[in-house]
């Protein structure tokens, strides 16, 4: 049973295949966190929490004589502000009189079959056989304000995942204001851990950083209205010695695409509290009597077998239960995107020329990027005017798409629905539709403003424009871009006491529009994008099966970006293209083979003008696409491994650099382990370098494998335990691809 309940003792146990999570409501109604970790048979671990009198950690009134009992030290499930717990907190509600004290205590529970599916927010979808999942709802109440918090836990037992979310309701007859409403609080007791988080910048997203949890508060956050290039809403807490295949690791992934905050506090007792949710810095949510606020959901998983396993658990739940199931086994098209080929300088003839070039190479889809609509010859104008620019697309969109389809190619288009240029007909007609503080000049970014997605009329306008375009021709893919964050957080449509809701309402509005579009056009695949990877999160993946990973297409930089991204997000979701060499951003030269191998380890496409390729390059690309068609299924749906090379565990970031050669190695293994692809990239080479062994992972030790392109057959055991010796790697950024197939 996934959920076990001891009514008498008010103990709740959530069992996944390999983990146990335990909660208890004690005699004051405090909801204690008892345990999260490897499966244990015990049914009550309260004894581990014997109280201890600590100076300056006060006691609730009913325990005034029991000085060892303090909310400041008890591990809790959903901590509150202002009533004795001085650690980072999950919830704070303010009354009309200005009191911010919040004190949620256990009231009741409900357990049911099935999953939690909040209206209008991304969530983990049920398995096909939904009878597997169970949901526990624990109701807490503040006896003074009648704020209630329903803590929701859905257990995906087979997948080792617990999804958590909270519904906060004003059950009183007076108005309350939520100043903070986090999704999750977990107290890891007395732990000595590392944090791994994923920071970055535009064009260099999701770089892992690993550091010991310090005493005090460490936070990972975005206040940009987007999940951001800078700090991803995904963190790992693990043992100091956790590596790829050993050690305890906990992963917390917020399913949210807006401003977020994760706080990790190591307190006076040595406990480590993690609180994650919507960023409260710019948040104040009015709850009128009867109103409910739903927090975004969090995907939590635990691995006691290291970071590799943790990664694969996230990949599985996202591929199978977050991304729309219809994409689970659908092969993503190899596409040619026009952006780095010609930016906004194109017309219908150029698009047809690109299509001819793409067809000749074996590419399957052509995507017309930015520049086809309104008055859009530069990024200073046109956003909002979603009408085909007939000076550029002279034959019209339906005719252009028909001609491209006639060549045997599919067609995709770029849009940036949430934005508006000052120089646009839309802005001239509706300046009030832009988010702007009426008393200030707006902060500009890429010379554009953000549409007020909290407004229904704005969403209606956008839905109609998008529908019109998508119905006008056989469009099978949309790249949904967004090229700036939110700065001017003021909506003309909301009253003054609801301006603190703008940032979150924006995200809800964006989800609403995406939900409507995906429902109305179920055959159109949407690739998310936000100036590259500024909104790469599980919230977007609920609507978009893939996301453009970065505006940086330099293959060597991409090795780092894609590797960091793949810690939490599946490779089938990572938009990745081969572009020109030298790269237009870094001016670096890299071999076509290396660029292809890196792009293949994502959704694979091209972003260049085929007419600028030599005949030799064209032939190489044809061959790569032919090979990718063989690789595609295993890459997009197989298990992903970061590989250990030369004795350096890839999770120990500092130990990763080797004296003579700098490698990065990764692998995809089919579910039945009969096939694997190993990739090894050398970031620098030296003369007369020592031999290096690469040890594939995840194979069947008892199977015999054939190494494609050779006459060698070898056991899975020898491959995994001894490894393969790499031949001497030479030149700039060489790559090796090793294909292992079961030898029957």
Angle of CA points 154, 157, 160, to nearest 5°: 100
Q: Which of 382, 531, 638, 716 binds ligand DGJ (CB under 6 A)?
A: 531
Of 26, 617, 656, 662, the active-site residue reads 617
Q: For ligand DGJ, give the closer residue by CB, 150 or 370.
A: 370
Q: How far is the CB of 462 from ligand DGJ (least distance, A)?
A: 17
- Distance separating alpha carbons of residues 78 and 240, to the nearest angstrom: 27
Q: Name residues contacting ligand DGJ, limited to 534-553 (CB under 6 A).
A: 548, 551
Q: How far is the CB of 448 from ligand DGJ (least distance, A)?
A: 10
* Burial profile 378-409: b = 16 or more Cβ within 10 angstroms, e = fewer: ebebbbbbbebbeebbebebeebbebbbeeeb
Q: For ligand DGJ, give the closer residue by CB, 293 or 548.
A: 548
Question: Closest residue to ligand DGJ, Cβ-based?
Answer: 370
Q: For ligand DGJ, give the closer residue by CB, 248 or 482.
A: 482
Binding-site residue total for ligand DGJ (CB under 6 A)?
Answer: 11
- Could you tell me whether strands 410-415 and 365-368 are parallel, antiparallel, or unpaired per DSSP bridges? parallel
Q: Which listed range, 5-13, 423-431, 524-532, 703-711, lies at the site for ligand DGJ (CB under 6 A)?
A: 524-532
- C-alpha distances in angstroms, 263 versus 120, 141, 185, 233, 676? 26, 24, 9, 11, 39
Q: Which of 370, 385, 580, 667 binds ligand DGJ (CB under 6 A)?
A: 370
Radius of gyration of the chain (CA): 27
Q: For ligand DGJ, give the closer residue by CB, 479 or 695.
A: 479
Query: Is 483 a binder of ligand DGJ (CB under 6 A)?
Result: yes
Query: Is 481 a binder of ligand DGJ (CB under 6 A)?
Result: yes
Query: Is 477 a binder of ligand DGJ (CB under 6 A)?
Result: no
Query: Is 338 a binder of ligand DGJ (CB under 6 A)?
Result: no
Query: Is 576 a binder of ligand DGJ (CB under 6 A)?
Result: no
- C-alpha distances in angstroms, 166 versus 283, 296, 323? 16, 8, 22
Q: For ligand DGJ, give the closer residue by CB, 373 or 433.
A: 373
Q: For ligand DGJ, give the closer residue by CB, 308 or 528.
A: 528
Closest to 182 in 3D by CA, of 331, 53, 81:
81
Query: Is 448 a binder of ligand DGJ (CB under 6 A)?
Result: no
Q: How far apart are the first and last CA of the chain?
A: 40
What's the token pair of residue 144?
């003074």
Whether the Cβ atoms of residue 212 and residue 194 lie closer than 8 Å to each other: yes
Q: For ligand DGJ, give the closer residue by CB, 383 or 597.
A: 383
Query: Is 369 a binder of ligand DGJ (CB under 6 A)?
Result: yes
Closest to 111 in 3D by CA, of 145, 140, 77, 135:
135
DSSP secondary structure, 492-560, as one string: TTS-GGGGGGHHHHHHHHHHHHHHHHHHH-TTPEEEE-BTTBTT-SHHHHTT-SEEE--S---HHHHHH
Q: Which listed range, 98-106, 246-254, 525-533, 660-668, lies at the site for ligand DGJ (CB under 6 A)?
A: 525-533
DSSP secondary structure, 28-78, as one string: T--EEEEEEEE----S--GGGG-----TT----GGGTT-TT--TTTS-BSS
Query: Is 574 a binder of ligand DGJ (CB under 6 A)?
Result: no
Angle of CA points 340, 341, 346, to nearest 5°: 115
Q: For ligand DGJ, give the closer residue by CB, 31 or 419.
A: 419
Of 160, 348, 501, 537, the active-site residue reads 537
- Distance separating alpha carbons of residues 454 and 462, to the nearest angstrom: 13
Q: Which listed range, 391-399, 489-497, 527-535, 623-631, lies at the site for ligand DGJ (CB under 6 A)?
A: 527-535
Q: Name residues contacting ligand DGJ, limited to 135-154 (CB under 6 A).
A: none
Active site residue 44: no
Q: How far is the CB of 343 from ligand DGJ (least distance, A)?
A: 8
Residue 564: partners with Cβ closer than 8 Å, 6 or more residues away: 198, 200, 205, 206, 207, 208
Q: For ligand DGJ, give the closer residue by CB, 511 or 548.
A: 548
Check residue 81 and give left, alpha or beta (phi > 0: left; psi -120 to 50: alpha).
beta
Query: Is 414 a binder of ligand DGJ (CB under 6 A)?
Result: yes
Q: How far is the CB of 529 from ligand DGJ (least distance, A)?
A: 5
Q: Name residues contacting ligand DGJ, limited to 95-124 (CB under 6 A).
A: none
Q: How far is the CB of 530 from ligand DGJ (least distance, A)?
A: 7
The H helix count followed by the E strand count for the chain is 12, 39
Active site residue 617: yes
Sign of CA dihedral 33, 39, 43, 46: negative
Q: How far is the CB of 326 from ligand DGJ (least distance, A)?
A: 25
Q: Which of 306, 412, 532, 716 binds ligand DGJ (CB under 6 A)?
A: 532
Q: For binding to ligand DGJ (CB under 6 A), which residues are involved?
A: 339, 369-370, 414, 481, 483, 529, 531-532, 548, 551
Instruction: Enumerate the active-site residues.
Output: 537, 617
């Amino acid at each position: 049973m996934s959920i076990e309940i001891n009514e008498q003792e008010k103990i709740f146990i959530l069992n996944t295949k390999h983990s146990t999570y335990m909660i208890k409501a004690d005699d004051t109604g405090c909801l204690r966190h008892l345990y999260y970790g490897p499966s244990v048979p015990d049914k009550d671990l309260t004894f581990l929490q014997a109280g201890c009198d600590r100076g300056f950690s006060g006691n609730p009134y009913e325990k005034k004589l029991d000085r060892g009992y303090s909310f400041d030290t008890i591990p809790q499930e959903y901590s509150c502000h202002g009533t004795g717990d001085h650690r980072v907190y999950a919830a704070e509600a303010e009354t009309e009189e200005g009191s911010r004290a919040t004190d949620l205590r256990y009231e009741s529970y409900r357990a049911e079959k099935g999953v939690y599916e909040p209206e209008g927010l991304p969530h983990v979808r049920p398995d096909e056989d939904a009878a597997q999942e169970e949901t526990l709802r624990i109701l807490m109440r503040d006896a003074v304000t009648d704020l209630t918090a329903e803590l929701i836990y859905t257990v995906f037992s087979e997948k080792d995942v617990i999804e958590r979310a909270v519904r906060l309701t004003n059950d009183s007859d007076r108005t309350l204001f939520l100043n903070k409403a986090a999704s999750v609080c977990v107290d890891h007791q007395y732990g000595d851990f590392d944090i791994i988080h994923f920071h970055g910048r535009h064009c260099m997203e999701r770089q892992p950083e690993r550091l010991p949890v310090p005493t005090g508060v460490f936070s990972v956050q975005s206040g940009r209205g987007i999940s951001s290039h800078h700090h991803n809403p995904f963190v790992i807490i693990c043992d100091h010695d956790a590596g790829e295949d050993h050690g305890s690791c906990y992963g917390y992934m917020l399913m949210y695409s807006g401003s977020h905050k994760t706080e990790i506090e190591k307190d006076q007792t040595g406990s480590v509290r993690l609180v994650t949710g919507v960023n409260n810095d710019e948040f104040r949510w009015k709850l009128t009597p009867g109103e409910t606020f739903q927090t975004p959901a969090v995907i939590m998983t635990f691995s006691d077998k290291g970071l590799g396993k943790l990664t694969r658990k996230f990949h599985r739940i996202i591929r199978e239960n977050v991304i729309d199931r219809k994409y689970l086994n659908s092969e993503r098209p190899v596409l040619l995107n026009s952006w780095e080929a010609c930016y906004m300088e194109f017309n219908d003839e150029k698009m047809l020329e690109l299509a001819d070039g793409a067809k000749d190479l074996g590419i399957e889809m052509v995507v017309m990027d930015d520049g086809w609509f309104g008055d859009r010859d530069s990024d200073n104008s046109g956003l909002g005017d979603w009408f085909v620019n007939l000076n550029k697309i002279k034959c019209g969109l339906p005719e252009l798409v028909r001609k491209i389809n006639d060549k045997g190619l599919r067609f995709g288009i770029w849009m940036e629905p949430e934005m508006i240029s000052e120089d646009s007909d839309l802005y001239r007609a509706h300046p009030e539709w832009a988010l702007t503080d009426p008393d200030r000049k707006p902060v500009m970014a890429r010379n554009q403003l953000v549409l007020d997605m909290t407004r229904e009329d704005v969403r209606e306008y956008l839905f109609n424009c998008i529908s019109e375009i998508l119905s006008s021709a056989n469009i099978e893919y949309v790249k949904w871009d967004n090229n700036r964050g939110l700065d001017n957080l003021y909506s003309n449509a909301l009253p003054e006491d609801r301006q603190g809701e703008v940032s979150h309402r924006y995200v809800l509005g964006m989800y609403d529009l995406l939900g409507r579009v995906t429902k109305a056009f179920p055959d159109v695949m949407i690739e998310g994008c936000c100036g590259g990877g500024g909104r790469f999160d599980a919230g977007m993946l609920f609507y978009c099966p893939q996301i453009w990973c970065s505006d940086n297409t330099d293959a060597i930089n991409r090795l780092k970006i894609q590797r960091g991204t793949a810690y939490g997000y599946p490779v089938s979701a990572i938009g990745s293209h081969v572009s020109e060499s030298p790269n237009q951003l870094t001016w670096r030269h890299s071999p076509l083979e290396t660029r292809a191998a890196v792009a293949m380890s994502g959704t694979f496409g091209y972003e260049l003008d085929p007419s600028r390729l030599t005949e030799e390059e064209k032939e190489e690309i044809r061959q790569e696409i032919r090979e990718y068609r063989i690789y595609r299924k295993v890459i997009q749906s197989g298990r992903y491994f970061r590989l250990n090379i030369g004795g350096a565990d890839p999770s120990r970031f500092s130990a990763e650099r080797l004296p003579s050669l700098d490698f990065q190695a990764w692998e995809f293994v089919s579910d039945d382990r009969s096939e694997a692809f190993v990739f090894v990239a050398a970031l620098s080479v030296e003369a007369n370098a020592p031999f290096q062994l690469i040890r594939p992972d995840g194979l069947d030790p008892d199977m015999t494998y054939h190494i494609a392109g050779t006459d060698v057959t070898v056991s899975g055991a020898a491959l995994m335990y001894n490894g393969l010796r790499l031949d001497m790697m030479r030149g700039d950024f060489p790559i090796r691809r090793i294909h292992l197939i079961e030898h029957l």
